[in-house]
């Protein structure tokens, strides 16, 4: 009934929970399994496990899945039903019991009675491992030698915990917008209106100087209302 330690870690470790070593950092969900340390780690921990075998764990409908291409380097996954998610074939790590009784044609999982498509007999890696240990008592014939296993090129590894912090960016306007006559420019404004992630921040400058008398006249005048002559 021997089982390799990394396989036991895939079945028992909790993924997609906050990393206790980087609890104040962003993107600190533990979605990687270090096969050499037999523990789950977050992207911020990758630097300390750079030379180890790393396996990315993904999430699908609240269940943990692993790319079939990566898992096949470690263990024979034949007869385990795979699913295509985002153009990649994945397999579930743990069993997913089916609530309703299966009615119809097709195969049934050897461990959890889940309905499967032909020619599959196991709905997850855990179901196959359990079946082999129950029938043959030994997994050696199904394990594959794998000395190196690195994360895919699409995996994002943050270099700094504050990489996602929103930094304010102020763009200075070298040339005024509107009239080019420098005498008609008003003084630069000192209050900036900041908009989050909406593009450059520009200090708007009025093109023409408006006198107080003209401004009062414009505010009191209503469009479309005729001016009446004073009563005598």
Order across the sheet with 88-92: list the strands: 58-60, 63-67, 88-92, 83-85
Question: What pLDDT does residue 2 have?
Answer: 81
What is the gyration radius of the CA atoms in the chain, in angstroms?
32
| 21 and 12 Cβ atoms separated by less than 8 Å | no
Residue 212 corresponds to which tokens in the numbers above?
A: 């107080």
SS (H, E, C) 176-202: CCCCCCHHHCCCCCCCCCCCCCCCCEE
Bin 102: left if φ > 0, else alpha if -120 < ψ < 50, else beta: beta
Q: How confident is the model at residue 158 (pLDDT cuts 50, 70, 90)?
A: confident
% of the chain surpassing 70 pLDDT: 65
Question: What pLDDT does residue 30 have?
Answer: 95
> What's the CA angle centered on 38, arms 37 and 39, to 5 degrees?
95
pLDDT digits (tens, 9 = 90+) for 82-100: 999 888 999 999 988 777 6
| 15 and 64 Cβ atoms separated by less than 8 Å | yes
Residue 187, C-beta contacts closer than 8 angstroms, at least 6 positions apart? none
Residue 55 corresponds to which tokens in the numbers above?
A: 């396996």
Question: What pLDDT does residue 218 have?
Answer: 55
Stretch 15-33: mean pLDDT = 92
The pLDDT of residue 140 is above 70: yes
Question: What pLDDT does residue 9 have?
Answer: 95
Other beta carbons less than 10 A from residue 7's beta carbon: 19
Question: What pLDDT does residue 186 have?
Answer: 39
Question: What pLDDT does residue 221 have?
Answer: 54
Higher-pLDDT residue of 230 and 162 is: 230
Higher-pLDDT residue of 31 and 223 is: 31
Stretch 122-143: mean pLDDT = 93
The pLDDT of residue 107 is above 80: yes
3-state helix, strand, coil split of the chain in percent (to 5) is: 20, 15, 65
The pLDDT of residue 5 is above 50: yes
The pLDDT of residue 106 is above 60: yes
Q: How confident is the model at residue 211 (pLDDT cuts 50, 70, 90)?
A: low
Going by the DSSP 8-state scheme, the letter that residue 230 receives in this structure is P
d(CA 221, CA 12): 76
pLDDT digits (tens, 9 = 90+) for 38-63: 999 999 999 999 999 999 999 988 89
């Amino acid at each position: 009934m021997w089982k390799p330690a990394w396989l036991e870690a895939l079945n028992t470790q909790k993924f997609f929970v906050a990393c206790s070593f980087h609890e104040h950092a962003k993107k600190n969900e533990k979605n990687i399994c270090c096969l050499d340390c037999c523990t789950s780690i977050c992207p911020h921990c990758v630097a300390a496990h750079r030379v180890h075998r790393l396996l990315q764990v993904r999430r699908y409908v609240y269940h943990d899945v692993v790319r079939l291409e990566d898992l096949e380097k470690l263990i024979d996954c034949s007869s385990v039903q795979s699913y295509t998610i985002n153009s990649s074939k994945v397999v579930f790590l743990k069993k997913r019991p089916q609530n309703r009784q299966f009615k119809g044609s097709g195969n049934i999982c050897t461990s959890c009675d889940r309905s499967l498509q032909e020619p599959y007999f196991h709905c997850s890696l855990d179901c196959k491992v359990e079946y082999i240990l129950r029938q043959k008592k030994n997994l050696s014939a199904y394990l594959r030698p794998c000395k190196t296993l690195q994360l895919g090129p699409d995996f994002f590894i943050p270099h700094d915990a504050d990489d996602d912090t929103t930094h304010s960016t102020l763009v200075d306007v070298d040339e005024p917008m509107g009239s080019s006559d420098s005498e008609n420019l008003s003084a630069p404004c000192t209050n900036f209106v900041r908009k989050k992630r909406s593009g450059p921040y520009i200090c708007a400058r009025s093109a023409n100087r408006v006198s107080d008398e003209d401004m009062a006249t414009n505010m009191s005048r209503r469009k479309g209302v005729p001016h009446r002559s004073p009563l005598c």
